[in-house]
Chain A
Amino acid sequence: MSADALRTHWTTPARHRRIADTLALGLPLALAAAAIGWRLAGPAVAGLLAIVVFAVALIVARQRAARHDLPWLIRSLDATRPELEDSSALLFADDAPLSPLQSLQRTRIATRLDQASPHDLTPGWSKRLFLILSVLAVALIAAALLWPRAGEGPPTLAPSDEGLPARPGIPSLVGQNLRIVPPAYTGLPVRDSASLDARVPQGSRLEWTLRFDPQASAPRLLMLAGQPLALRQEGANWIATHTADAAFLYRVDPASRRGATPRLHRVDAIADAPPQVKPLTDSLTMIKPGQRSWTPAFAATDDYGVAATARLRVTLAIGEGENVTFSEREIPVTGTGPARNRRFAPRLDFPTFGFAAGGDMVVQLIVRDNRAPGPQEVRGPSLILRWPSPKQPESSGLTGMVNTTLPAYFRSQRQIIIDIEKLLRQKRTLAPDRTLARSASIGGDQQILRGRYSQFLGGESEGQPELPTADADGHSENDGHDHGPPVSTPNVFGEKEDVLAEFGHPHDESPASSLDPETRAILKQAVDEMWQSERELKTGHPDTALPYAYKALRFIKEVQQATRIFLSRVGPELPPIDASRRMTGKREGLASRQLDITPVKRQDGPAAAAWRALGAGPDAIRGPIDLAPLEGWVRANAGRLPDALALSGAIDAVRRDPACASCRAKLRAQLWTAMERPLGQPARRRPADATGTRYLRAIEGGGS
Chain B
Amino acid sequence: MIVAALLILAILLAAIRLIIWHRAAGEQASPLRLTLLLLLQPICAGLLLLGLFPPATIGGSGTLRIATAGTPRLAAGGTPLIILPEAGTIPGEAAPDLATALRRHPAANRIEIIGRGLTPRDLDAARSVAVRFAPPQPPKGLTDLAPPVPTAPGASFTAGATLAGLPHATVELLDPAGRITDSATPDPDGHVRLTGTSRTTGTADFTLRVRDGNRTIEQAGVPVVTQDSARPRLLILAGAPGPEVKYLRRWATDAGFAVSTQMSAGGGIQLGDAPVSIDGATLRRFDAVLVDDRSWAALGGGRGALLGAVRDGLGLILRASGPLDGATRGQWQALGFTLKGGNDLAPLALPKPPVVAIARTRQGITDADRPDDMALPDEMLPEVTRLAAAPAGHDTVTLLQDAGGTTLAAWRALGMGRIALFTGVDSYALTLTGHQPLYDQWWRSLLGAVGRPAPAPAHIDGIHWAGERMTLCGLTGDAQAIRPDGSPARLIPVNGCAAFWPANAGWHILRGKDGITPFHVQPAGALPAVRAARDRAATLMLRGDAPATAQGEPRPGPSWPWLLGWLLASALLWGLERSRIGRCQSAL
Residues of A within 8 A of B (CB): 582-583, 587, 590-595, 597-600, 603-604, 608, 611-612, 615-619, 622, 637, 640-642, 668-670, 672-688, 693, 696-697, 699-700, 702-704
Contact = CB atoms under 8 A, between A and B. Distances in A.
B149 to A, nearest CB: 8
B558 interface: no
A704 B415 CA distance: 10
B230 A678 contact: no
Given A675-B365, A681-B228, A686-B453, A704 B336 contact: yes
21 contacts: A592-B270, A594-B271, A595-B273, A599-B253, A615-B204, A616-B507, A618-B509, A637-B365, A640-B366, A641-B365, A676-B199, A678-B153, A678-B154, A680-B256, A681-B229, A682-B152, A682-B445, A683-B155, A684-B229, A696-B415, A703-B393
Contact of B271 (A583, A593, A677): A593
A698 to B, nearest CB: 10
B176 A597 contact: no
B254 interface: yes
A700 B362 CA distance: 40
B155 to A, nearest CB: 6
Nearest to B445: A682
B269 interface: yes
Contact of A677 (B178, B197, B311): B197
A637 to B, nearest CB: 8
Nearest to A673: B177
B272 interface: yes
B176 A682 contact: no
B255 A678 contact: yes
A615 B203 contact: yes
B335 A703 contact: yes
Contacts of B269: 583, 590-593
B255 A681 contact: yes
A622 B506 CA distance: 14
A675 B200 CA distance: 8
Contacts of B182: none
A-B pairs, 4 with minimum CB distance:
A680-B255, A682-B448, A677-B364, A583-B267
B199 to A, nearest CB: 4
Contacts of A697: 415-416
Contacts of A679: 154, 251, 254-255, 436, 440, 444
Contacts of B230: 684
Given A640-B368, A674-B365, A684 B454 contact: yes
A672 B199 contact: yes
Interface of B: 149-155, 175-179, 197-204, 227-230, 232, 249-257, 259, 261, 266-275, 307, 311, 334-336, 362-369, 393, 395, 412-416, 436, 440, 443-445, 447-449, 451-456, 484-486, 506-507, 509, 516, 518
Contacts of A676: 154, 199, 364-365, 367
Given A593-B271, A684-B451, A615 B202 contact: yes
B364 A675 contact: yes
B251 A611 contact: no
B200 A604 contact: yes
A704 B308 CA distance: 11
Contact of A684 (B232, B486, B506): B232
B232 A669 contact: no
A699 B413 contact: yes
Contact of B416 (A637, A675, A696): A696
Given A599-B254, A615-B507, A682-B155, A704 B448 contact: no
B286 to A, nearest CB: 14
A575 to B, nearest CB: 15
A236 to B, nearest CB: 43
B176 A668 contact: yes
B175 A672 contact: yes
A686 B456 contact: yes
Contact of B363 (A672, A677, A681, A703): A677
B257 A680 contact: yes
Contact of B336 (A617, A683, A688, A702): A702
Among A641, A668, A679, A700, residue most surrounded by chain B Cβ atoms (within 10 Å): A679
A681 B455 contact: no
B252 A680 contact: yes
B412 A597 contact: no
Nearest to A623: B486
B229 A682 contact: yes
B227 A683 contact: yes
Nearest to A685: B453
A600 B369 contact: yes
Contact of B176 (A587, A672, A688): A672
A597 B250 contact: yes
A684 B364 contact: no
B443 A680 contact: yes
Given A678-B154, A681-B154, A682-B229, A704 B334 contact: yes
A552 B443 CA distance: 66
Among B201, B202, B269, B364, residue most surrounded by chain A Cβ atoms (within 10 Å): B202
A543 B443 CA distance: 79
A697 to B, nearest CB: 7
Nearest to B452: A684
A512 B500 CA distance: 82
B131 to A, nearest CB: 33
A646 to B, nearest CB: 10
A702 B415 CA distance: 9
Contacts of B366: 640
Contacts of A675: 199-200, 364-365
A619 B509 CA distance: 11
A639 to B, nearest CB: 9
Contacts of B202: 608, 611-612, 615, 617, 619
A407 to B, nearest CB: 37
B229 A582 contact: no
Nearest to B418: A685
A700 B203 contact: no
B367 A622 contact: no
Given A583-B266, A597-B249, A685-B449, A604 B365 contact: yes
B274 A594 contact: yes
Contacts of B261: 595
B451 A582 contact: no
A582 B267 contact: yes
Nearest to A641: B365
Given A676-B365, A680-B251, A704-B336, 5 more contacts: A591-B269, A604-B200, A617-B203, A672-B204, A680-B440
B483 to A, nearest CB: 10
A685 B451 CA distance: 7
A617 B507 contact: yes
Contacts of B395: 702-703
A678 B203 contact: no
Contacts of A685: 448-449, 451, 453-454
Contact of B518 (A617, A674, A684, A693): A617
Contacts of A595: 261, 271-273
B578 to A, nearest CB: 71
Contact of B177 (A592, A669, A677, A682): A669
A251 B336 CA distance: 69
Contacts of B270: 592
Contacts of A683: 149-152, 155, 227, 229, 448, 456
Nearest to B251: A680
Contacts of A673: 177, 179, 365
Contacts of A704: 307, 334-336, 414
A370 to B, nearest CB: 30
A560 to B, nearest CB: 39
Contacts of A592: 268-271, 275
A688 B453 CA distance: 8
A597 B261 CA distance: 10
Contacts of A680: 154, 251-252, 254-257, 440, 443-444
Nearest to B511: A618
A697 B149 CA distance: 27
A682 B201 CA distance: 13
